[in-house]
Structure formats: structure tokens, C-alpha cells
């Protein structure tokens, strides 16, 4: 506590120099805090937008059915009986060699049911979607996306044409528009996709069986995703011997997760760059501390002569470096806050709010403390190692 006061004293005795010394740390902290806060602010508003697009559903996958597999009939039953469920659609994927009109390509085949269309918010360009009867009859019909229509058939208006999947002929009953507004649509617009009845996919792909491994659930109108999630969890827990590892329910779609990954990577990247400037700031602190130690050689000599131990001197100079760093850190955080306030007024029309990110502030504080310790250690040790007589007679 006393050495803290002494450190403050000695820093405030040369304010101009202290501020210049801290400048590196101040700028480093500002870079770190402002950049990460901006990324987080932007991410929040973008993820909100993404969430609005397609995550009003649950993705359920079953990894261990305990000998009690889920069938299409079970899904229908849950849909009827559980009020919080809107629609449920099983899905499985496989890829198949697609051929039509002499063009060929690898097609991603989704096997599903009628409810998939609503849950996934798909849009037909023409034709119709799969019906319950298609599923019941294992019909050889398919709905393809616009890309598949253009690349395999050659034109979009291809209802009634045939599409060979692994040599079996499917009749095209509908073509989906490429929905560039939904992120799922955006990602899929580059690939050839065919949707066929779930029951037909069982015949087409050996890897798919009547045991449903994954399905989508949308909440009923007036119910939230969370309510549906709780209901689904209860059903599955009861079904799979209370083993919560047997299944996984996620309310986020894959894209949102991917976006989260990207933005957190961006935060780390920007944070890393800012951290480098903090290290540079730390080197600045070390430089000035070395100058200070030389300037105060005589003071060190006096202190040692009247009884300061090595540790006392070490603590004193280390404390000074750490206090310098922490003051710089505090100023930097304050300035970051001011900058974010200014940014907020400037972009007020953009529906984005940037707040000081608590996590990054904590990181900045801890990082500055560590930098103060590391870069203060060398000068402080130099001071502590001085011999009292040499230091006393320094400079007369």
C-alpha cells in the first residue's frame, strides 16, 4: 500500500513524461477495447438478423436410439399430441449421381416429408412440394432447386421431366427458387439439390434406414422455440432411458454457429493485433523505467544505505511500472468508452448499439498488469542489484 503511494508520487512528479510513457499502453488498450467492442456490437446486430431468418426451429439428432428407434409415425403422433410443436420433419441426406438430358452431376439428396417445406421456409418457383401421399407411397418424385434445374435440365420450367438418381428415374414435381435472403438458401444455391420422400431415400441410399436419426421441429404458433425445446427434451429423455447423451437438441442453425465462429475468430484476430501494440507499449514503459533507474541511482543508494533491502527497491520500481501500466490502462478504457459513445451517436440511425465489452475490458486490465510486471522486472531488478556505495557516489 505504501509502495503504491510512493509509486503514485514518483509518477506524478513528472506528469508529462508519465503521460508520454503511458501513451503506448493507452493506444494499445484503446485499440483492443474499441475494436473488439465494435466487432461484438456489429455481430450482435447481425446475428439478431440471422436469427430472424431461420432459427425458429429445433434441430434434433439421435446418436443412440437404445433399440427404440424413432419412426415417421412417432413424429406424426408427437405433432398431434404436443401442443407446443408446430411441425416436425425428419431428414436424411445422401449424395447421388444425377443424370438428365445427358447432363450429369453429383446431387445432394434430402429425404424428408411434407412438413419440411414450412419449417425451412422454402419457396417454390413452380410445381408443388412433396405430399403425405408421396411419402406413404414411396413415390419416385423429387423437388429440385433452381441450380439443379439449370445445370442438369438446362432450364427452370421442367415440371414432369425425369431425373435419374443413381440410375432410378424420379419425376420432377417442383422447382425451388434460390432464396438468397435465407442464409441456408444462400449456402445451397451453389450446389445441386433434390428433395425426395423420406421413404424413397431409404431405398435409394443404403446408409439411410427407417430409423430416423435427425429431424426438425418448429414451434406451434403462439409458442416459443424454448417451449418446444423443453417439451422435446422431456419426450426424448423418457424415451431414451434418461440418457441425455443419446440425443442432441440445438436451436441454432449451422449457419449461425458458423457466423459465431467467424466473428469470434475476428475478435481474436483484432484482439491479437491490438495486443501486439500493447506489448510495444510495454517496451516503452521498460525504456522509461530504465532511464528512471539511472536517473535515480543516487536515490537508490540513499535508500539502500538507510536500510532498504533488495526486495524493497525491487517492489518500489516494479510497483511504479505496474502503476504506470494500470493508469494507462484506465485512461485507455475511459477513452474507449468515450469513442464508443461518439460512434453510437454517429451511427444512431443504423440500429446498432456499441457497448464496452466487459470481457475485453477484463482482458485489457489483466494483460496490462502482466505487461507492467514483465517489462518492469528488468529495470527494477537492475535497481535492486545496485551496490549501495556505487549508487551513493554516482554523479558526485
Partner 1 sequence: MIDIKDLCKVYLVGDERVRALDHATLHIYPHEFVSIIGPSGSGKSTLMNIIGCLDVADAGTYLLDDLPIEAYSENELARIRNEKIGFVFQQFNLIPKLSAEENVELPLIYQKVPRAQRAERVKAALERVGLANRAKHLPTELSGGQQQRVAIARAIVTNPKLILADEPTGALDSKTSQEIIDIFHELHRQGNTIVLITHDNDVAKQAERSIRIFDGRILEVTL
Residues lying near partner 1 in the complex (CB under 8 A): 2, 9-10, 13, 298-299, 301-312, 387-389, 392, 396
Closest distance to partner 1 from the beta carbon of 284 (Å): 23
Coil/strand/helix, residue 29:
helix
Nearest residue (CB) to partner 1, 8 versus 374: 8
Closest distance to partner 1 from the beta carbon of 301 (Å): 8
Closest distance to partner 1 from the beta carbon of 296 (Å): 9
Nearest residue (CB) to partner 1, 237 versus 392: 392
Residue 30 near residue 335, CB atoms below 8 Å: yes
Please tell me the distance from the alpha carbon of residue 25 to that of residue 18, in angstroms, as a whole number.
Answer: 11
The cell numbers describing 82, all together, are 404436443
Residue 385 near residue 313, CB atoms below 8 Å: no
* Other beta carbons less than 10 A from residue 346's beta carbon: 9
Nearest residue (CB) to partner 1, 87 versus 303: 303
Given strand 214-219, what is the order of strands in its sheet?
85-90, 214-219, 58-62, 247-250
Closest distance to partner 1 from the beta carbon of 245 (Å): 59
Nearest residue (CB) to partner 1, 10 versus 179: 10
Nearest residue (CB) to partner 1, 132 versus 310: 310
Among 165, 222, 234, which residue's Cα sits nearest to residue 196? 165
Nearest residue (CB) to partner 1, 132 versus 387: 387
Among 364, 386, 380, which residue's Cα sits nearest to residue 320? 380
The cell numbers describing 6, all together, are 510512493
Closest distance to partner 1 from the beta carbon of 394 (Å): 11
Please tell me the distance from the alpha carbon of residue 321 to that of residue 285, in angstroms, as a whole number.
Answer: 7
Among 32, 88, 57, 65, which residue's Cα sits nearest to residue 278? 32
The cell numbers describing 73, all together, are 409415425
Among 328, 320, 318, 316, which residue's Cα sits nearest to residue 367? 328
Closest distance to partner 1 from the beta carbon of 302 (Å): 5
Please tell me the distance from the alpha carbon of residue 137 to that of residue 21, in angstroms, as a whole number.
Answer: 79
Nearest residue (CB) to partner 1, 239 versus 304: 304
Nearest residue (CB) to partner 1, 30 versus 327: 327
Nearest residue (CB) to partner 1, 217 versus 314: 314
Does residue 160 come out as left (phi exceeding 0), alpha (psi in the -120 to 50 range) or beta? left
Rg (CA), the chain: 33
Helix segments in the chain, DSSP class H: 2-12, 15-54, 72-81, 116-119, 132-136, 146-148, 183-188, 198-204, 225-239, 254-295, 297-305, 310-346, 358-385, 388-392
Amino acid at each position: 500500500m505504501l509502495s503504491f503511494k510512493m509509486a503514485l508520487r514518483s509518477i506524478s512528479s513528472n506528469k508529462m513524461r508519465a503521460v508520454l510513457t503511458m501513451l503506448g499502453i493507452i493506444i494499445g488498450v484503446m485499440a483492443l477495447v474499441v475494436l473488439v467492442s465494435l466487432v461484438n456490437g456489429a455481430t450482435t446486430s447481425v446475428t439478431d438478423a440471422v436469427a430472424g431468418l431461420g432459427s425458429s426451429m429445433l434441430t434434433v439428432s439421435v446418436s443412440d436410439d437404445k433399440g427404440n428407434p424413432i419412426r415417421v409415425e412417432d413424429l406424426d403422433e408427437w405433432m398431434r399430441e404436443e401442443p407446443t410443436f408446430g411441425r416436425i420433419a425428419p431428414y436424411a441426406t445422401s449424395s447421388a449421381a444425377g443424370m438428365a438430358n445427358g447432363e450429369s452431376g453429383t446431387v445432394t439428396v434430402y429425404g424428408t416429408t411434407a412438413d419440411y417445406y414450412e419449417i425451412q421456409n422454402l419457396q417454390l418457383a413452380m410445381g408443388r412440394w412433396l405430399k403425405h401421399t408421396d411419402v406413404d407411397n414411396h413415390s419416385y418424385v423429387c423437388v429440385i432447386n433452381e441450380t439443379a434445374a439449370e445445370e442438369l435440365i438446362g432450364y427452370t420450367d421442367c415440371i414432369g421431366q425425369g431425373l435419374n438418381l443413381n440410375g432410378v428415374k424420379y419425376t420432377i414435381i417442383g422447382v425451388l427458387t434460390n432464396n438468397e435472403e435465407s442464409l441456408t438458401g444462400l449456402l445451397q444455391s451453389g450446389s445441386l439439390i433434390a428433395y425426395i420422400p423420406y421413404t424413397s431415400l431409404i431405398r435409394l441410399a443404403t446408409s439411410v434406414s427407417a430409423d430416423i436419426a435427425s429431424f426438425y421441429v418448429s414451434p406451434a404458433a403462439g409458442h416459443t422455440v424454448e417451449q418446444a425445446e423443453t417439451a422435446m427434451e422431456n419426450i426424448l429423455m423418457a424415451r431414451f432411458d434418461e440418457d441425455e447423451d443419446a440425443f442432441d437438441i440445438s436451436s441454432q442453425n449451422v449457419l449461425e454457429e458458423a457466423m459465431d465462429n467467424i466473428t469470434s475468430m475476428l475478435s481474436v484476430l483484432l484482439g491479437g493485433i491490438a495486443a501486439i501494440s500493447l506489448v510495444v507499449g510495454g517496451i516503452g514503459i521498460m525504456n522509461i523505467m530504465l532511464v528512471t533507474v539511472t536517473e535515480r541511482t543516487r536515490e537508490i543508494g540513499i535508500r539502500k544505505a538507510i536500510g532498504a533491502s533488495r526486495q524493497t527497491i525491487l517492489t518500489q520500481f516494479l510497483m511504479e511500472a505496474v502503476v504506470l501500466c494500470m493508469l494507462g490502462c484506465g485512461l485507455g478504457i475511459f477513452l474507449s468508452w468515450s469513442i464508443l459513445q461518439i460512434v453510437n451517436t454517429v451511427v444512431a440511425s443504423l440500429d446498432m448499439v456499441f457497448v464496452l465489452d466487459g470481457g475485453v475490458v477484463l482482458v485489457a486490465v489483466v494483460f496490462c498488469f502482466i505487461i507492467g510486471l514483465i517489462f518492469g522486472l528488468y529495470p527494477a531488478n537492475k535497481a535492486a542489484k545496485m551496490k549501495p556505495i556505487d549508487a551513493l557516489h554516482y554523479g558526485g
